[in-house]
Structure 1
């Protein structure tokens, strides 16, 4: 057992929160009602494989080679061959959490009972998860249709004793890991090789974890933004609920409410306190509109992802009760790619506006405080360079936010003539999320310095807790020091809030 909690997969009830728990090490089991569904579809596939009719991926070749009929005595070899031939990834391996989640997601698809694999295969995949046998999956190789063929082939190879894995902290051949774990390789039956690799579970795993972090990032951003309001002695009028309800966007209303909640009891809310300006810069005044729009996009992306977590993405799909095997395109990653690309733009803009608030605090013409919040202008440079770091991250986010889903490149002799590039979208989104967390951490650090220099008091009930937490790690800047150390500590604090 890898984790303490147990999450039972059934093909229908997986959520983003459960997916995150699995990635972090929660133990995985199979729901008791899944076996009947899986067995029924597998028996149907076995029967159809021996009939005269050509059925894609069961007794035919793959892609352009689907016109080639495969003889009965080669049906199992066909399934092993597709794993070997499609294991064509390159680059650094996916992280352990990403790979664990991808394994669980593929298992969840198989348990829907529309793939036609054996229950033994499902159990073997679950056993690998529980024993901590983690396939080494290179980051490059997927074009996002037919799903994540190459990386999923790397995921599947250890089940048959092939490929490389991480096991007990070491990289080793899968055959050796199975031996040490007391497991045996399986022999693939009809359709099982294709059933393991035809789907979106790699892009889904990478993107799901990034979305979880993005949701948390936005929640934390309310607190940081509220602290910057206090640091800049900003007007709270733009946060008034009447303004938000007059426009009606849900995300905007939530963001304004959360910032106001953090500022409860703050000096900014006292009638005797005049704000620094009648109207503040847009990065403060329009925070509910900008952050709220990002929140709406991320929440929409989560809806898409939670549908996909329990969706059948194989091809063909097996409907045994209706005596149907249908070839289609459920493997296409476009829903995910679009969701990740939109979320990438949403998060990138959160980094952009955070950097602008950072600049306001460092700019003496806007803050009314010493330039760069330095304790000794001229001799000391204060937090000048922190904005350089922020700007460099914002710059990279803007380039990463260019969509991947609009850059389809055809392949497979014209058969796969439109693809999603969904894994590229997911990987870029994950990187943007990490960058924006750092940008907001810098804003947090600098806001506390501005508050100290302004001697702003009292702080809000929420913002005071955040200020005190940061000051446990980073003292007020009263002389130049290595600012990278402040940033690293601020990132630690941001992770805790």
Structure 2
């Protein structure tokens, strides 16, 4: 079921972006933005009429910026620009991501600093509304001068070139345009450049990674709480006084989440006077580690949200002054560095979860049956599930290497420093998938561990979590084909099921 979102360019919220990505919302642009758009287009026309030479309007591009283009070739210039930049390769981006790219490009152009006509923005809007998604290869952008190649594949559809996907079927661009009630258009001066310049692809990929990380994070808090119960861990590390004297906001907020999830547990009451002094770090330091992850998740979210609202093409048209200024807003370094930070978050959430799984399966640490199964030896239980979690956590260590520290000069050294933001953002979903599988295994293992303490009950909240797990995955009595159980739990993580217990709003408070 979809609903309509009234979008004011430059004022998008994370909730709106999340709804757009989930394709649960149709976009309507605030009509008040049209005046600025048309003023910007008039400025471009006035420049051409006055015979002024301005980069991006009547010149070549990049190293060819000093080449003036005659007025009668300006339309050809825009077409050639799109066609020559359609050099992407690799798997196609999924529909949800392409929809978000369309929305970000549309709202950025609608800020009124790009010199394009209303009709261009309206065409992007119609594609989005009709769910006609340009086929955009996922590789080929270095995240500087904008996401040139992928945005060229998006934009070429407007002139009837390339392919689109609609309701799962790939078709020629012209057929797709017809579904959206459009015909191939002729782009005017500056319009092709405005369409392919900008950070909308890297930003959409980064937001996609952020939304997956939100789901991962709330699931990991729930899983970590369950493991505290399964291992009869101390609640003292979650005491608000400990967090207050350090003063880190993420730590303070995360500890509060654990206290709420663990509140009123019979299991905890049964071992309040036990002789164990301290738990291992993966239990005891959850507020500190997950709190640091939350602080950096919030940082990345702020960068991505600002970029989603940004004008990032070049040159920029300032109609009030009659100026067209060439700068570097297309350089996606903010997105690249924030994506690298988010990659660390994803890797650490998974790494901490894997360490808790290792405790759960080790009887010397857990006090539970070896590998969480009766008749160990005859049954291997969670032995190899922990191996899988180790493999995935280790894979993320390699993927977490920062992409933003790398740069290869392009365009004959005119673009001599690039951000690699598109790859930095694109790998986030794979990383989140790895950590989601790790957390899924922990959820199953921790639920199994808690059940060994029956008839003692966990907290009401965590009992509800266990009931959810047991609605599809039975208690592990003896060895069985295990992969479907892990797939079911992973689906809960990736679908955001545990937001029921830890709302996303608590992450961004």
TM-score (normalised: structure 1): 0.97
| Structure-2 residue corresponding to 1:301 | 300
Give the whole-Å Cα distance in 1 for the aligned partners of 2:381 and 2:58: 70
Deviation at 1:213, TM superposition (A): 2.1
Cα distance in 2 for residues equivalent to 1:493 and 1:12: 33
Q: Which residue of 2 aligns with 1:467?
A: 466
Counterparts of 1:20-39 in structure 2 under 5 Å? 20-25=18-23, 26-39=25-38
2:107 counterpart SS class: helix
| 3-state SS of 1:225 partner | helix
Q: CA RMSD in A?
A: 1.3
Aligned residues: 495
Q: Distance in 1 between matches of 2:286 and 2:274?
A: 17
Q: Where in structure 1 are there 5+ consecutive unaligned residues?
A: none
> Which residue of the partner structure matches residue 17 of structure 1?
15
Unaligned runs of 5+ in 2: 499-509
Query: What is the aligned partner in structure 2 of residue 86 from structure 1?
Result: 85
Where does residue 327 of structure 1 map in the other structure?
A: 326
8 A Cα contact 2:130 2:179, kept in partner: no
| Change over 3 Å in CA distance of 1:55–1:275 after alignment to 2 | farther
Structure 1 residues 22-421: aligned runs within 5 Å: 22-25=20-23, 26-270=25-269, 273-275=272-274, 277-421=276-420
| 8 Å Cα contact 2:206/2:426 also seen in 1 | yes
Could you state the TM-score of these two structures normalised by the residue count of structure 2?
0.95
Q: Quick one: distance in 2 between partners of 1:216 and 1:190?
A: 43
Q: Distance in 2 between matches of 1:259 and 1:65?
A: 58
Q: Displacement, 1:180?
A: 4.2
Residue 6 of structure 1, aligned match among 4, 7, 20? 4
Q: Within 2, Cα distance between the matches of 1:249 and 1:164?
A: 49
Paired with 1:327 and 1:261, the residues of 2 have a C-alpha distance of 52
Q: In structure 1, what is the Cα distance between the partners aligned to 2:235 and 2:154? A: 52
**Distance in 1 of aligned mates of 2:368 and 2:149:** 55
The more displaced of 276-285 and 337-346 is 276-285
Q: Secondary structure at the match of 1:416?
A: coil
Aligned partners of 1:50 and 1:72 also within 8 Å: no
Post-superposition offset of 1:374: 1.8
SS of structure 1 residue aligned to 2:320: helix
State the match for 2:430 in structure 1: 431
SS of residue paired to 1:325: strand
**Which segment drifts farther, 267-276 or 224-233?**
267-276
Q: CA deviation at 1:181?
A: 4.1
Contact 2:145–2:330, Cα closer than 8 Å, also in 1: yes
Secondary structure of the residue aligned to 1:381 is coil
Mapped to 2, the partners of 1:258 and 1:165 lie a distance apart of 44
Q: SS of 1:321's equivalent?
A: coil
